[in-house]
Structures are given as structure tokens and as C-alpha cells.
Amino acid sequence: MIKTPYLLFLGDAPDQLAVKVAQGIKDWRPENALGQYRMEGCKADLKLPDMDLAQAREAGAKTLVIGVANRGGLISAAWKKVLVTALEEGFDLASGLHNLLRDEPDLVAVAKATGRSLHDVRVPSVKYPIANGVKRRGKRVLAVGTDCSVGKMYTGLAMDAEMRRRGLKSTFRSTGQTGILITGDGVPLDAVIADFMAGSVEWLTPDNDDDHWDIIEGQGSIFHVSYSGVTMALIHGGQPDALILSHEPTREHMRGLPGYALPTLEALRDTALPLARVANPACEVVGVAVNTQHLGEDEAAAYLSQVETRMGLPATDPYRFGAGKLVDALAAY
């Protein structure tokens, strides 16, 4: 568990896109985002108070979160100086970079000397069990996509936010590095050893109150040949009571797989639901989340309306139009 609240390190980000992890934290856990730390030449701005390390400590920040993707995959000397100083000032560090904090001997030495923690959220820190398939109490919902990167994480975060707004019980369960940095914990599922994937999802979504919903972050797609095994482990380890179908309607082929067409929403439903019912016979598909970012406002509304008619399910773009319809569907479950 990463200590909150955070100071968000934007480094020398070349553009706004490079800080999307930090943006996610600000969007979905604004209470965790006390301020931003920008270095000389930083081209990104989250519209958060700029703070140096001392100011952030004063404001109560506990962890410096690397909220920026680095070029070349290496932690630069300029970054390193800030990170070392942060440890000395009393911050823990958290990062989703490929270049692990724990692989930097100087950071390890300073963290040890100062008693601080280094959180590399890209690699598991838990010895997960093998899944046992035992039915757990409480409810679970999982977004499954026609492809990777169609908005499953944002859909889940938007549903979680809407449920809290309504005073319903919900927990967003992160299964990827960005999600883990946003919420402060979770399972980096793509880095888990094959035999323990489903078990790690069971571990992440334990027994809970009967009226509590775990909103499990989806990964990959059962139709994406590179990552379908990860998706399968979510479907069986998660024992979802409800599935949300996620789609991006302008994608021309599966992400990274030229020549692989996206499945239809019908094919996704007809494939994912029987598989989910192996682990939870009561599972139902309850709604459709469409990422309409490449459609105009009218076009998006027309597309959603057409999907609702075709599929007989509520459909929305939860980021653009809110997750109300999806939460209505869960509340009615």
C-alpha cells in the first residue's frame, strides 16, 4: 500500500501526453494529488500547485509518485538528484517505470539509510496463491473489451466514482500499473507468473459485504492473441456477477496486430459470458461502455443510441457522458 497523499513528479515531461499517469491520479483521486513537481523544461501542467519538496512535506505529502513516462527507459541523472533528495526529505517513492527503482543502487542505499520505501508497481510484491474457485461474498463487475486500450480502466474508475457519489459501496480494484498508482494498491497482473494469475485476482477481490461491488480493472481482450490469457484469468479469478462490454468504434484493427479485425460487441458478449459463467453461473452482461473520443458529440450520441437498440443494453461513454447508466444497471442487478 502506497502512502497518500502524493506529490506528483512530472520531471522534464516533453508534452502533456507524457504525464498521463499523473493526470489519472488528479482526475480520479484528486484528494491524493497535493501538488506537482516540475523540473526545468517541463512542458506539462496539471493545473495543480507547483511545490518543491519542502513545501510538499509541509502540506503533508507522503510519497513522490513518478507520474511521467521517461524517454529511453532510463532514470536520468537529473531525475535521480530529485529522487535522492526526496528520500532524504522523508518521502517514499512510487514508480511504474520499466527501469525499476530497486535496480538503482544509490536509491536503494539512500532508502535503506533513511528508512523510506521504494514502490515499483510494475512488479508484484506479494506471493499470490493458486486460484481455488471458491465462491466469495459480495458483488463484482468486470469490463471486458473488444480490444486492448479501449477505456476499461476509465470506465471502472468512473463507475466507482458514481457509486460513491450515490453512497453505494464500491472499491476499484487495480490490475495495472496506472491503476495501482491512482488507488495506491492492486495487482500488476501482466507481471504475475502464469500459474498464479487467477489466484492473484481472487486475492485482490476477497469476501465482502453482500451489497458491496468490487469494480475490477479489465486488461487486454479475450480476442487479443497477445494478452488473452491475462483477460481469461480476470474472467475466472474475478468471478464477475456483471460484465460491461467496452469498445472503441473507430479502431481499424486489434492494437498492435495488423490483420486482426476487432470482434463485434455481439461476438464479445457471446464469447465472454459463457466463459464467465464457468466461475459464476449468475453472471450477466449489464451494459456497454463506448470510448467515443474520436467521434463528434452528435455522432457519439447517435452511435450509443444505435448500440442500445442493437444490444438491448444501456450504453454510454462513461468519461464523456458519465457512468450513471452503468451504475443504474448495477444497482438494479
Q: Which residues bind a copy of itself (CB under 8 A)?
A: 130-133, 189-195, 197-199, 222-223, 225-233, 235-237, 254, 256-257, 259-260, 263, 271, 274-275, 278-279
Q: How far, in Å, CA of 143 to CA of 120, rounded?
A: 25
Residue 170 — φ and ψ, nearest 5°?
A: -150, 155
151: CB partners within 8 A, 6+ apart: 145, 246, 248, 289, 291, 317, 318, 319
For a copy of itself, give the closer residue by CB, 5 or 263.
Answer: 263
Q: How far, in Å, CA of 331 to CA of 17, rounded?
A: 35
Supply the minimum distance, in Å, between the C-beta of residue 278 and a copy of itself. 5
Supply the minimum distance, in Å, between the C-beta of residue 285 and a copy of itself. 17
- The C-alpha cell at 311 is 444490444
For a copy of itself, give the closer residue by CB, 88 or 190.
Answer: 190
Q: Angle of helix 228-238 relative to helix 197-204, nearest 10 degrees?
A: 40
For a copy of itself, give the closer residue by CB, 22 or 279.
Answer: 279
Supply the minimum distance, in Å, between the C-beta of residue 132 and a copy of itself. 7
Supply the minimum distance, in Å, between the C-beta of residue 189 and a copy of itself. 6
- Say which amino acid occupies 242: A
For a copy of itself, give the closer residue by CB, 73 or 296.
Answer: 73
For a copy of itself, give the closer residue by CB, 167 or 258.
Answer: 258
- What are the Cα distances from residue 124, in Å, to 121, 193, 195, 285? 7, 9, 14, 30
Supply the minimum distance, in Å, between the C-beta of residue 176 and a copy of itself. 11
For a copy of itself, give the closer residue by CB, 175 or 316.
Answer: 175
165: CB partners within 8 A, 6+ apart: none
SS3 300: helix
Supply the minimum distance, in Å, between the C-beta of residue 263 and a copy of itself. 8
